[in-house]
Amino acid sequence: MQSDQNDAVAGAPTGGKQLSAEERKGYWRANLSLLGKLLAVWFIVSFGAGILLEDWLNQFTVMGFKLGFWFAQQGSIFTFVVLIFIYASRMKKLDRAFGVED
């Protein structure tokens, strides 16, 4: 029982098999890499398109709104929702690759 609690505390994924310490490190390294990439995309869209490039993007329109304004108000939210689905999909693949799917 104590080792089960230690695995849960150490962040071991639950599922079909117990992972070795090296496999756990690989799993979380891949997880954090994916998370970092997705957060970078969100940052670029929300900060870059919504703030830094707003004036340049405002020369284009989407549904009657200036594109820079649209990204600042809606675009980053839509991007975030899409990134959630991408994360869920990629994590399913990662879980299958490591044999820890539910």
pTM: 0.72
For residue range 5-49, list pLDDT tens digits in order.
445 445 555 555 687 888 889 899 999 999 999 999 999 988 888
Structure tokens at 102: 């539910």
- pLDDT (tens digit per residue) in 67-93: 888 888 888 899 999 999 999 999 999
DSSP 42-96: HHIIIIIIIIITHHHHTTSEETTEEHHHHIIIIIHHHHHHHHHHHHHHHHHHHHH
For residues 95 and 15, is the Cβ–Cβ distance under 8 A?
Answer: yes
